Structure 1
Amino acid sequence: MINAIALLVVAAAGFAYLNERITRLPMTIGVAAIALACSLAFMVCDGLQLANLRDPVSRWLSALDFSQLLLQGMLSFLLFAGAFHVDGRRLRQYAWQIGFLAVVATAASAFLIGVATHWVLRAASVSLPLSYCLVFGALIAPTDAVAVLGALRRAKVPGNVETAIAGESLFNDGVGIVLFTIFAQLATSPGMPSTWSVVADFSRQAFGGLLLGGAVGGATFLLMRRIDRYQVEVLLTLAAVVGGYAVAANIGVSGPLAMVVAGVLLGNEGREQAMSATTRDNIDTFWELIDVALNAILFTLIGLEAVSVHAETRAWIAIPATVLIVLVARILTVGAPVALVSAAFRLPAKTAPLLVWAGLRGGISIALALSLPSGHARDIVLMLTYGNVIFSTFSQGLTIGWLAKRTQKHLQGR
């Protein structure tokens, strides 16, 4: 395991260096592109019987266990780092709008995607139960905070729109993981749980995560107020992330939601009332470096995971259809409400296309797909997930900045 992680870090650093010297793309996208090119080269060599590189890479990725590495390790750091720099005051001002986008829109989108995907796969003569199609909907409906926040940093987005997009992506990760857990249990368990048990499970995980995040963030805040030594305070934030996520896993509540709440609390009240200027500078630098390094590693894994994708040829044909389904579902659940009742959302109607296109998918979706039990159904779900993530990373990730500038021009020209 240690050797596998060491090789991963070396690969991520090497790809980041090549991107900086040659491709000059945004770092996460450039790293993913180079890693994906390597994966395709491995598969071509294997297909032409020039060299068997695919199997060793697959074994290396299996040793890493992408799903566990991200969901039980990297995700807590990435979500905390993202939430730490979100404006808490503006987040509270748009609380119900973010709640609608993160909960209602995500749940509705998951259902629409699942049902439509089932219909498309049946038309393509690909066998996948409706329960697994709903699992696919649950893991692909939420936007990936890691990918979205990285794109927002590169794009100049109006403050209220940025808050809505960032808030949605941070909170719907937790909501999406809870939905995925419930649908995955429905798909893999022989019995059918009652509606009450499903609602109770969702409430326990979601609200429990929010409460735990408040408790962890509040306790860390109180400890930081009583000292003024940045080395210890950095360590306290690190302990809040590692310890808080471990507690969430052990008591069965949402770790991602807990990290978002703790990050927002410490990044706002903690920054203003519990940190000196020196502490703020050092904590900002520390979490920025953590964020950049883990993003490089994550997108390296996204590109290399292509070697693990296996599915029948007819299923590959369904990828463009599911990409369209995912986009249409986001238009119906996010774009249309904002465009039709923009006054209620306090967002300009012209920003609806930007909100739709900002729905990037990333490593969390792949990690969730990889966590499913091995078999034909997982192969299909993983293949559809990977196709959507690659489309999102390169098509939406590379053009979101252009669309943001265009949207800003329209708003200024009103």
Structure 2
Amino acid sequence: MFNAITGVLVLAAILAYLNTRFIRLPMTIGIAGLALGLSLLMVAASHLGASELRSAAVAWSKHLAFSQLVLQGMLSLLLFAGALDLNGAVLRRYAWQVAFLSIVSTVVSAALVGAGVYLVLQWCSVPLSMAYCMAFGALIAPTDAVAVIGALRRSSVPQSVETAVAGEALFNDGVGIVLFSVFSTMAASGQQSEIVSALTLFLREAGGGLLLGAISGGILFFMLRSIDRYKVEVMLTIAAVMGGYALADVLHVSGPITTVVAGIIVGNQGRQQAMSEQTRASVDTFWELVDAILNAVLFALIGLEGVAITATVRSWFPAVAAVALTLLARAATVGAPVALCPKLLRLPPASAAIMVWGGLRGAISIALALSLPSGTQRDTVVMLTYAVVVFSVFAQGLTIERVASRVSSAKPV
């Protein structure tokens, strides 16, 4: 495992250099593009008879345990880094809007995508059970906080829109993972889950995550306020993130929600009331570096995972349909409410475009897909997920700034 992680870090650093020196795309997109290009070269070489390199890459990918590395290792650190920069005052002002987008819109979007994919695959004679289709809907409905926040930082949008999009992305990861756990359990067991038990699980995970995040963030706040040693304080933030996420797993509550809530507390009350200037600068610099390094690794992994994807000519229509359904569901559950009810949501109608197009998907969706039980149905879900993520990263990620430039002139309602 250590050698595999070392290999990813070395490759990510080399790809980051090549992108910075020659290609000059946004860093994460450039790294993902170069890694995907490398994957496609290995796939092409295997079709020409040189299959050893691709076989070695696939074996390395399995040894790396992509799903576990992302969900258990990197996700908590990245969510905390993103939550630190969320403006608490603006978030409180848009609290119910963020709650609506991250809960109601995510659940409805998951149902629409899952049902739509099931109908498309039935028409294409591709065998995939309803439980697997709904699991796909659950893992693809939430926007990826890592990808979304990175895109927002490169764009110029009103703060209200930025807070709504970033807040939704940070919280809907937890909602999506809870939904996914319900449907993936159904897919693995072949049994239907009762609505009451599914709702109980959701409330326990989400509510427990909020409570644990508030407790861990509060404890960290008081510890930071009681000392003035920036090195120790940075260590405490790391311990709170990793320890809180591990404790959430033990208590069967949402780790992502726990981490986000703790990050918001530290990034707002902690910064203002519990840190000296030197500590603030050190904490900010450290977490900016963590965010940049892990993002580079994450997007390199997204590109490299292409070498392990099995796709045939029959796969193309379902893949394109999955991309279209994901965008349509996003437009129906997020874009339509924002465009039709601007006064109620207090967001400019023009922001509907960026909220739909800015709903990027990334490594978390792939990691969830890879966590499904091995088999042909999982392979289908992984292929569909990868298609949506690749479209999202490249098509949406490269054009979001253009969309944002149109929205930036819109005044908040």
Q: Give, as a single letter, the amino acid of the residue that structure 2 aligns with 1:376.
A: T
Tell me which residue corresponds to 1:106: 106
Tell me which residue corresponds to 1:280: 280
Contact (CA 8 Å) 2:182, 2:193: kept in 1 or not? no
- Structure 1 residues 242-391: aligned runs within 5 Å: 242-391=242-391
Tell me which residue corresponds to 1:145: 145
Tell me which residue corresponds to 2:47: 47
SS in structure 2 of the partner of residue 287 of structure 1: helix
CA apart distance, 1:322: 1.1
Partner Cα separation in structure 2 for residue 260 and residue 392 of structure 1: 23
CA apart distance, 1:25: 0.4
CA apart distance, 1:317: 2.2
CA apart distance, 1:131: 1.0
* TM-score between both structures, scaled by the size of structure 2: 0.98
CA apart distance, 1:262: 0.2
Partner Cα separation in structure 1 for residue 364 and residue 69 of structure 2: 11
Contact (CA 8 Å) 2:178, 2:202: kept in 1 or not? yes
**Which segments of 5 or more consecutive residues in structure 1 lack a partner in the other structure?**
none
Tell me which residue corresponds to 1:240: 240
Contact (CA 8 Å) 2:75, 2:256: kept in 1 or not? yes
Partner Cα separation in structure 1 for residue 284 and residue 342 of structure 2: 35
CA apart distance, 1:166: 0.5
**Which segments of 5 or more consecutive residues in structure 2 lack a partner in the other structure?**
none
Contact (CA 8 Å) 2:346, 2:412: kept in 1 or not? no
CA apart distance, 1:353: 0.9
- How many residue pairs get matched? 413
* TM-score between both structures, scaled by the size of structure 1: 0.98
Contact (CA 8 Å) 2:217, 2:261: kept in 1 or not? yes
Contact (CA 8 Å) 1:76, 1:255: kept in 2 or not? yes
CA apart distance, 1:105: 0.2
Partner Cα separation in structure 1 for residue 91 and residue 224 of structure 2: 23
Q: CA RMSD in A?
A: 1.2
Contact (CA 8 Å) 1:369, 1:381: kept in 2 or not? yes
Does residue 37 of structure 1 match 2:16? no
Partner Cα separation in structure 2 for residue 122 and residue 276 of structure 1: 60
Change beyond 3 A, Cα 1:120–1:51: closer
Does residue 156 of structure 1 match 2:162? no
Tell me which residue corresponds to 1:24: 24
Contact (CA 8 Å) 2:335, 2:352: kept in 1 or not? yes
Partner Cα separation in structure 2 for residue 45 and residue 312 of structure 1: 17
Tell me which residue corresponds to 1:6: 6
Contact (CA 8 Å) 2:88, 2:264: kept in 1 or not? yes
- Structure 1 residues 22-101: aligned runs within 5 Å: 22-101=22-101
Contact (CA 8 Å) 2:310, 2:383: kept in 1 or not? yes
Q: Give, as a single letter, the amino acid of the residue that structure 2 aligns with 1:395.
A: A
Contact (CA 8 Å) 2:213, 2:262: kept in 1 or not? yes
Change beyond 3 A, Cα 1:225–1:369: same
1:74-97 deviation digits (Å, cap 9, x = unpaired)? 000000000011001110110000
Contact (CA 8 Å) 1:121, 1:315: kept in 2 or not? no
Partner Cα separation in structure 2 for residue 79 and residue 179 of structure 1: 19
Does residue 406 of structure 1 match 2:378? no
Tell me which residue corresponds to 2:393: 393
Partner Cα separation in structure 1 for residue 51 and residue 190 of structure 2: 43
CA apart distance, 1:313: 3.1
Partner Cα separation in structure 1 for residue 50 and residue 212 of structure 2: 53
CA apart distance, 1:318: 1.1
Change beyond 3 A, Cα 1:154–1:244: same
Q: Percent identity?
A: 56
Partner Cα separation in structure 1 for residue 316 and residue 217 of structure 2: 44
CA apart distance, 1:311: 4.1
Partner Cα separation in structure 1 for residue 205 and residue 226 of structure 2: 32
Contact (CA 8 Å) 1:144, 1:362: kept in 2 or not? yes
Contact (CA 8 Å) 1:32, 1:300: kept in 2 or not? yes
CA apart distance, 1:413: 13
Contact (CA 8 Å) 1:316, 1:383: kept in 2 or not? no
Partner Cα separation in structure 1 for residue 387 and residue 167 of structure 2: 26
Tell me which residue corresponds to 1:125: 125
